[in-house]
Every structure is written in C-alpha cells, then in structure tokens.
Structure 1
C-alpha cells in the first residue's frame, strides 16, 4: 500500500516510521538536532513550495510535508485497517 505525502510524493506504507506535527521541531532540541543531522546527511526532502505542516520519517528519508500530520495519520490508519 502507498501513502500520498503531498505534491507528487508517494511512499510505500512499509517505509513509514513516524509522522510528527511541524511544531515538534521548534519545541524539542532533540528533534531539531535530528532534522539538522538529516539535512547534513542529505536525507531531508521538502515536498512542494508550500509551508510545511508535518514531518514524515521513513527508513531512508525525512520529509517536510504541506499536509497536516492529522490528515497523514488518518491516511496511514486507513491503510492499516485494510
């Protein structure tokens, strides 16, 4: 199964590790360090030109998505129910 992350980006649901609201980046030093480290390792990808609303962590890549974390979580939950 696949999850649409916004724009033209779709990932396999089996690659998904976590979905976070963008506010976690500003409220947690550990999260900020993780994002900086991901960017340095060239594993960080921004989806589209819109403001990011969520952070999606997969096995190989971290994404900034313009879709809210609650919407993405609903999509992921729907796939688990199938």
Structure 2
C-alpha cells in the first residue's frame, strides 16, 4: 500500500519510519541541515508541512503530519500507528 504525499509523490507505507511536523524537524535538525534537506524539495509548489522518514531517506510533503496520520488510520490502509512514530 502506498501513501500519497502530494505533488505527485507516493511512498510505500511499509517503509515509513516516522512522520514529523515540519517545525519539529526544523528545530531538531539545526539550521545547516535544514537548509541542505529543504533544497532537495525545491521543486515543490508549496512550502512543505511535514517530513516523512523512510528506509530510503527523507520525503517532504505539502500535507500536514496530522492529515497524513488520518489517511494512514483509515481502514483501507490497515496500519497500526504504533508501528512507527507520528509527531504532529
């Protein structure tokens, strides 16, 4: 099952380790790391609102961490949120 992150991005739910609010990530990562990582998302049409940590790396999303959490909690996904961290 895949989770739609907005801006034509999909990620496998099984590879998600954490979903973080962008402000939490910004504060925790420090300014230099934040600038480096956010440069990767320069193609995004809007300011990112959440960071999805996966086995493969980081994904930035224009969808809030809370909304992504609600999507994953829907019966269609059948995911136990205790399987990974959601910080919103």
Given the two structures, how large is their TM-score scaled by the length of structure 1? 0.72
Unaligned runs of 5+ in 2: 80-88
Does the 8 Å contact 2:7/2:45 carry over to 1? no
- Where does residue 54 of structure 1 map in the other structure? 50
Question: What is the alpha-carbon distance in structure 1 between the residues aligned to residue 72 and residue 40 of structure 2?
Answer: 20
Unaligned runs of 5+ in 1: none
Residue by residue over 1:36-75, the C-alpha shift from the partner in whole angstroms, topping out at 9 and shown as x without a partner, is 29x57xxx84262200111110101201111111111111
RMSD: 2.5
Query: Across the two proteins, how many residue pairs are aligned to each other?
Result: 74
- Where does residue 86 of structure 2 map in the other structure? none
- Where does residue 80 of structure 1 map in the other structure? 78
- Where does residue 21 of structure 1 map in the other structure? 21
* SS in structure 2 at match of 1:75: helix
